[in-house]
Amino acid sequence: MNWITIAWPMVAAACLTLGLIELRIALTRPVDRARLVFAASAFAAAAACGLELAMMRADGPIEFQALLNWFDVAAGVVIATLAGFVWLYFRCGNRWLAIAGPAIYFTAVLFDFLPGSSLGYLEMTGLQTVETFGGATYQVAVGVPNPLNALTYLGVLVLLVFVVHASLQLAQRGQRRRAAVIGGSVVVWVLGAGIHSALIEIGVLQTPYLVSLAYLIILLAMAYELTADVSAAAHLGRQLQESERRLDLASAAAGLGVWVWDLGTNAFWATAKAYALFGIPPAERLDQARLIDAVHPDDRDTLRHAVDSALANDRDFEVEYRLQPVDGETRWIASRGRVERDGNGAPRLLRGIAFDISLRRRSELQLQELQSQLAHTSRVSMLGQLASALTHELYQPLGAILRNAEAAELFLQHDPPDLGELRPILADIRADDQRARDVIERLRTLLKRRSMACHPLAIDDLCATTAALTRADAAARSIPLAIDIEPALPEAMGDRVHLQQVLLNLVLNAMDAVDQAHPAERRIILRARHRGEHEIEVSVADTGPGIAPEKLDAIFEPFFTTKVDGMGIGLAISRTIVEAHGGRLWAENDLPAGATFRLTLPTAGEAAPS
């Protein structure tokens, strides 16, 4: 065994080793195409190294020629992959030069595989054994060079121009070290291997091809670059650890849990605070299934829907949900996040934060309870205003029942009793009883304290009930009350009692307003109309003095009132109720006099209000 037998396999091993390292790095997510192409270049250089050694040990011209043909192919692969590597790694240069160099080279290589032709030699007359130092020997070809072989060197020259141009552009962008190390090594390899091969083929030198040995320059450059990348990665790793510690500290101080969901592997990364919020031990692996298990069963579909919607519609992720009770206490969590997508637009990561909103939720529930109590108080107050009129409305059927009962008693004293006269009297008693029962039922419904429950309801029925409750008071005050309902009006989505309270408040306010007008000019109209495709507008118009322009918004503020004995909560509660239904309530002045209060409600076909 001589030094040639040792040296060339060592070069091949070096090429394969670095190629495998680069391949392993390239195949990590996301795929690094530049390193993948360089790995192919290193493998092609290893193949060229093996072919060089085989040519040095060839038994005759025919075997040497066959090996030389495949050596040209391997060298062409090295050239093509180096062009691709520089283009992808530098992200600059002339694309057409990168394509043209390998294209010209492989066009020339086709001659190696045409019958009766060879690119290197027009005629190979034999092999010559050459002895070198240490007593090692190798074979070299003897023959007539083929002028067409100049095409391969033209391709190599184009590659050289491309690499120099790309390196200069990269240096101008401030990456001088990378341009010098990588670009310089490729230029040295192209010049050294190209010139040496040309001198061999024109007979100036009698040495083996050294394409693979010259490739060691590129291997050293890439090893240096890899070492620099590893050092930079280690430095970034230390910085990342420090950033994570700072993030943990900041998020813990703010009560935020930070998390990242890798959609490809279904793996979660989360800070210690996030684990604590979800009640999951830090040592336990966190994935989607484990997170869903921690959520209250009634809120799991809500969480899944929010995630699916964010991934499908490219929108921010935002959801509030409850966790499984711990020690009998249910906790509310709010999560906010954003989808990160790859180059093809496919979702790759979901990054977000989570924080405890239990205190806020409890405050909201307490506020809702207070609002419910206030609304109930307001309804009772309104019924106090209607008390005299409602007393009269009850007195009429009860008085009729008494008179009919007295008449029936007289008919029963006849001998025999006049049953024919009793039947219509009993029918009148039943009808008057039903009238009194309806009045009491309306009062009971309004006085009953209840939370809001939205259902489809008929607006015409709601307006008719409002008119029935206020008509007696309106008649006592000589105020005509008219109803104008658009035909075929769809059902609205809302809570009957709370909306009844709003309309009652608006009608009673309108009565107070028109009290100041001349009796002949007093008028209130309760209207209901379509407003757009998905809304219904209900309005209460009066012929009073109107509202001062600067007070059109102020009248909806709590405790603001224009009445001497008013509390200033009726309109504030009414606006809160309407907005809770997903609608609006506002006031407008009419010409020449009067004002109109308008409110909108979603139709039953729309989403339920909050």
Task: For residues 43-63, give the mean pLDDT.
Answer: 93
Task: For residues 144-173, give the mean pLDDT.
Answer: 92
Q: What is the pLDDT of residue 609?
A: 44
Assess whether the previous peptide bond of 417 is cis (omega < 30° from 0): no
Give the domain extent around 351: 255-356
pLDDT bin (cut points 50, 70, 90) of residue 52 is very high
Q: What is the pLDDT of residue 288?
A: 79
| 438 and 508 together in one domain | no
| 444 and 479 together in one domain | no
Task: For residues 445-463, give the mean pLDDT.
Answer: 74
Task: For residues 275-299, give the mean pLDDT.
Answer: 84
By the 8 A CB rule, do 528 and 460 touch?
yes
By the 8 A CB rule, do 510 and 524 touch?
yes
CA distance to 84, 435, 449, 456, 475, per residue, from 443 (Å): 85, 13, 12, 22, 19
Question: Which of 451, 481, 497 is the C-terminal boundary of a domain?
Answer: 451
Question: Which of 392, 421, 451 is the C-terminal boundary of a domain?
Answer: 451
Task: For residues 243-253, give the mean pLDDT.
Answer: 70
Q: Considering the domain boundaries, does residue 99 fall inside one? A: yes
Q: What is the pLDDT of residue 386?
A: 52
Does the structure show a pLDDT above 90 at 154? yes
Q: How many structural domains compose the chain?
A: 4
Q: Considering the domain boundaries, does residue 38 fall inside one? A: yes
User: Could you tell me the CATH number of the domain that includes residue 586?
Assistant: 3.30.565.10
| 467 and 600 together in one domain | yes
User: Could you tell me the CATH number of the domain that includes residue 133?
Assistant: 1.20.1070
Q: What is the pLDDT of residue 371?
A: 60
| 144 and 117 together in one domain | yes
Does the structure show a pLDDT above 80 at 506? yes
3-state SS class at 59: coil
Quote the mean pLDDT of the chain: 83
Kindly report the number of other CB atoms within 10 A of residue 591's CB atom: 6
Angle between the N-to-C axes of helices 387-412 and 419-447, in degrees from 0 to 180, rounded to the nearest 10? 160
| 420 and 476 together in one domain | no
Q: Considering the domain boundaries, does residue 487 fall inside one? A: yes
State the sign of the Cα–Cα–Cα–Cα dihedral 269, 273, 277, 280. Answer: positive
| 440 and 463 together in one domain | no
Range ranked top by mean pLDDT from 58-62, 111-115, 394-398, 559-563: 58-62
Q: Is 260 exposed, middle or buried (0-12, 13-18, 19+ CB in 10 A)?
A: middle
| 228 and 90 together in one domain | yes
Threshold 0.85, pTM exceeds = no
Q: What is the pLDDT of residue 400?
A: 62
Q: Considering the domain boundaries, does residue 246 fall inside one? A: no
